[in-house]
Structure 1
Amino acid sequence: MRTTCKKGRLSRAHPTPIDVDLCWTVPHGDGAVSWVRRDVKSTLEACGVSQETVDSATLIVSELTTNAVTHALPPVMLRVVTIRQALRIEVVDAGAVNKAPRHTRRSADEHGRGHVIVAKLACRTGQRADAGRVSHWAEVPAA
């Protein structure tokens, strides 16, 4: 479920700034990550965000929400908001900070690269824990 929140501002080469502040509740279940990834992508494109920023943001959304849905307790909330000259993607869940992933010999090739991908695409990343909630965020520069 997507809800519109208050607005922020994303400047770009185009003379009109882009305001984005959106929230999603991400269910735990099959198809949740692909659903939210598609919705974020189409929403950002409809807002006029550059394709480069949309592509980076969509991949970051996929990585952060996959980690939350796979390794954390519900509820999972996704927020995409403009901050300064960047688009911030933030996923909040009820999991533990730096929870060790559950690897098996067979799954080692499929897991463990998400944080590396996010760090390569983002200009800033971080996490914080507060009152039983954990937030993982990344900022993508406006292109």
Structure 2
Amino acid sequence: MSAEAAAAAQAARGRQARRLDFRGQSGVVPLARDFARQALYAWGWLPAATADQRAAAEDVLLVVSELVTNACLHAEGPDELLIARDNKVIRVEVSDRGAGQPAPRTPHRAGRPGGHGMFIVQRLCLDWGVHRTPGRSGKTVWAELGAPA
């Protein structure tokens, strides 16, 4: 199946995806947020018709910011952002070359500066995790959020 046919089949099932390559880019956190915002507009999540839809879109932008920021702080920066959606879920993936394992800081202390990124991701998302490809360095940190009603 050609790439065009695969994309058409995914669109027919309601799945759409966009990728952003960060290599050679600077200012990657605002770049990632702008890219995600453009995807949300293209997919009809923005402008939001209701407060719940606006909150869902803001949650996506916050998760994108947190995952990209973590890649900058702990993994020499991100390589790629994938944002994909179907009718029920939006998935955010940030790939980097880091070997570390992200985890919410425990115990979480709200008044302490820093260390809130994965706690925020954990609280906002349906699920999240880390995917590693055997034989390759780096990882992909992914998170899934529910689509607004």
| Same fold per superposition (TM over 0.5) | yes
Q: Name the structure 1 match of 2:66.
A: 63
Supply the distance in 1 between the matched residues of 2:37 and 2:128 (Cα, whole angstroms): 20
Q: Contact between 1:122 and 1:139, CA under 8 Å: does it hold in 2? A: yes
Alignment of 1:25 onto 2:28: no
Q: Normalised by the size of structure 2, how large is the TM-score?
A: 0.70
Between Structure 1 and Structure 2, which shows a larger proportion of strand residues? 1
Q: Contact between 2:15 and 2:87, CA under 8 Å: does it hold in 1? A: no
Q: Contact between 2:75 and 2:100, CA under 8 Å: does it hold in 1? A: no
Q: Contact between 2:71 and 2:78, CA under 8 Å: does it hold in 1? A: no
Question: For this pair of structures, how many residues does the alignment match?
Answer: 126
* From 115, 119, 140, the counterpart of 1:135: 140
Larger Rg: 2
Supply the distance in 2 between the matched residues of 1:137 and 1:99 (Cα, whole angstroms): 11
Amino acid at match of 1:77: E
Between Structure 1 and Structure 2, which shows a larger proportion of helix residues? 2
Supply the distance in 1 between the matched residues of 2:23 and 2:72 (Cα, whole angstroms): 8
Which structure 1 residue ranges, 5 or more long, are not aligned? 10-16, 101-107
Q: Name the structure 2 match of 1:42.
A: 38
Q: Normalised by the size of structure 1, how large is the TM-score?
A: 0.73
Identity rate, percent: 28
Alignment of 1:1-143 (within 5 A): 6=7, 8=10, 19-27=15-23, 30-49=26-45, 50-73=53-76, 76-83=79-86, 85-98=88-101, 109-130=112-133, 131-143=136-148
